[in-house]
Amino acid sequence: MDDFDARAINTIRGLAMDAPHAARSGHQGTAMSLAPLAHVLFSRIMRYDAARPDWVDRDRFVLSCGHASILQYALLHLTGFGVTLEDLKNFRQLGSATPGHPEVGHTVGIEVTTGPLGQGVANMVGMAIAEAQLRTRYGSDIVDHHVFGLCGDGDLAEGVSHEAASLAGHLGLGKIVLCYDDNRITIDGDTDLALSDDAAGRFRSYGWHVDEVGAIGEDCDALEASVRRAMAVTDKPSLIVLQTVIGFPATEHAGTPQAHGYAIVDEEIAATKRRMGMSDATFQVDHDVLEAYNAIGRRGQNERQASESRIAGFDGDRASLLAQLGNIGLPGWDEELPTFDVGDSVATRKASNAVLQTLVEIVPGLTGGGADLTGNTGTVIKDHGVFSAADPGGRQIYFGVREHAMGAVANGMALHGGAIPVVGTFLVFADYMRGAVRLAALSGAKTIFVWSHDSIGVGEDGPTHQPVEQLASLRAIPGLRVIRPADANETVAAWKIAMELDGPTALILSRQDLPVLNGTAGGDVASGAYVLREVADAAITLVGTGSEVSLCIDAADVLECEGIAARVVSFPSWELFDRADRSYQTSVLVPEIRALAVEAGIAQGWHRWVDDVVSIDRFGVSAPGDTVMRELGFNVDNVVARAKTLLGG
């Protein structure tokens, strides 16, 4: 190891001790033991330009073991991404650019939000899919880069990493280089307490190239050689299994479970720095080390400029390239959307697929599929190839029965750029995906989640497959836009919203056919709710979502025959309605008029908007869907009776 390597690594290790110590919080050990590997990646391997962190063809770096965030922050500081020494001193503090775990959009240079273990591994798979699609479509002169990542025992213990690794091996994603820090330590103690599987053997069975390099963690040349061997493998993802001593070279806590967290303090920090040949100064970054690292951060400038020149001079399908890189549609894309005639009967999942088939022709980056329920959920993409090792340009992705990985992979695709992923399964299985969905919202990833079979109307499959609490649980996630359209035309509007706005969108769709209603084609879905039927001297407002909107209209007809004037409001999205101004809200839900909501889910949250709710606060039953709906109160007679009760009899 030459003098610069040694001093650079020691600088990183010093910061990895000092920042958590200043915060009295954080994870020191992993950052310390992986400092040489991270140094090699950032100084010898990766292609990037710190002055332009959004360069399209940069290599991506994912810290799946996000608790070691100080490692990445230290390197972002040294290489000139804009993270300052003061930011490191304010590690984990309010308003700091260095939060406890890396957050995309919060800190420059962070590609994905990591922390929940295993998510970063799956994000890498999505990034590699996006890279492969772009490279295949536009050529390696435009896009040709790797996705590098670090993970630990915790990442590989989580099920989402198993799902994602299996998919990556099947798809032959050769641009992935994942480095596994096999330090055999968890918070509870040695990994032997709970883990005895053969990680290398498991990844080989998934179809990965695996290189068990052993205890070379302090040898920069050997580390570089192992990474370059992995990069030379083009037909399968690569796993480098590296054995390290957590917390090395700490004088007392190296190799202990305590080093996983915040344990190296005061005298041990000073002693460890002396062992490394450093002074006792805190946050020590020598000027020449910083200058050398800053030069490394700028080293990719010429390559970046050449890459941008090739994009500027691209003489292929330039309109598609620019639309795809911009995550938008071709000009006029929204004018091509289908419309549906009043009186038709169409399941919203089928209407959604009709929209998807239209959009895929005019939105070059739209891609995705389902978790073994592709046809059922309307996420079939016809005539654009199936993504595979043989055809990495295909836009239909078969994720298999891997809901959690599907969501996390989609987030990686969205955050990579050049892809607008759409993924689908049944609404009840959104529970399997929740970790990824929450991170999509936290990250602002433009992921479109299609969840069909949205209620007890699923029918014969019974309560295990009939969602009742899922809508409320998804609405509880800040930043997730949930839209449950009433019919095919509202479904078209929902897709338009998902395409136009940033961040994730959840489309909640019916299994059963629903009538196309009068007024929905011009309805203000973008405002979240609108008056579908207005009447003079209204006594009550019936408020519905999804399949229950047509039920509200039928109930309003009966009430009218009985001399009770009832307005009907379609309320597809709480989140969008919440953004509307107060005057619009009160024009839709008039405070002086009693309001009754009708939704085939739990009542939780509805009382913010209405006076009472026809809901289902129990699990369903196995029977034909229309029978279940009728028997559990989603019928005209019950809605009429509840309306009368709300009005005082």
pLDDT digit string, tens, across residues 446-486: 999 999 999 999 999 999 999 999 999 999 999 999 999 99
Contact between residue 481 and residue 341 where contact means Cβ atoms under 8 Å apart: no
* Rounded distance between C-alpha atoms, residue 260 and residue 315, angstroms: 52
* Rounded distance between C-alpha atoms, residue 578 and residue 469, angstroms: 21
Asked if residue 249 has a cis previous peptide bond (ω within 30° of 0), the answer is: yes
* Assigned domain for 328 exists: no
- The active-site residue, picked from 158, 163, 403, 575, is 403
* Assigned domain for 308 exists: no
Residues 479 and 554 in one domain: no
* Assigned domain for 311 exists: no
Query: What are the tokens at 563?
Result: 């001399």
- Residue 649, pLDDT score: 65
What CATH number is associated with residue 578? Answer: 3.40.50.920
The domain of 79 spans: 3-303
Residues 110 and 239 in one domain: yes
Q: Could you tell me the CA-to-CA distances from 492 to 355, 364, 488, 510, 576 in Å, in that order?
A: 6, 18, 6, 14, 16
Phi and psi angles of residue 299, each rounded to the nearest 5 degrees, phi first: -60, -30
- Residue bearing tokens 């579908």: 532
* Assigned domain for 190 exists: yes
Amino acid at 47: R
Residues 497 and 419 in one domain: yes
**What is the value of pTM for the model shown?**
0.98
Of the residues 469, 488, 515, the one at which a domain ends: 515
Residues 362 and 488 in one domain: yes
What CATH number is associated with residue 470? Answer: 3.40.50.970
End-to-end CA distance of the chain: 86
Residues 167 and 266 in one domain: yes
Q: Could you tell me the CA-to-CA distances from 505 to 15, 319, 420, 575, 578 in Å, in that order?
A: 39, 26, 11, 10, 15
Residues 298 and 387 in one domain: no
* Rounded distance between C-alpha atoms, residue 380 and residue 362, angstroms: 16
Residues 245 and 294 in one domain: yes
Task: Please state the domain count of the chain.
Answer: 3
How many Cα atoms occupy the beta-carbon half-sphere of 299 within 13 Å?
A: 15
* Assigned domain for 315 exists: no
Residues 280 and 361 in one domain: no
* Assigned domain for 326 exists: no
* Assigned domain for 318 exists: no
Low-confidence ranges of the chain (pLDDT < 70): 1, 649
Q: Could you tell me the CA-to-CA distances from 83 to 77, 228, 289 in Å, in that order?
A: 5, 28, 16
Residues 395 and 494 in one domain: yes
Of the residues 490, 515, 540, the one at which a domain ends: 515
Of the residues 515, 537, 558, the one at which a domain ends: 515
* Rounded distance between C-alpha atoms, residue 402 and residue 162, angstroms: 9
Rounded to the nearest 10°, the torsion over CA 170, 172, 178, 181 is 40
Whether 224 sits among the annotated catalytic residues: the reply is no
Residues 507 and 531 in one domain: no
* Rounded distance between C-alpha atoms, residue 19 and residue 28, angstroms: 9
- Residue 1, pLDDT score: 65
Residues 273 and 342 in one domain: no
* Assigned domain for 317 exists: no
Residues 505 and 537 in one domain: no
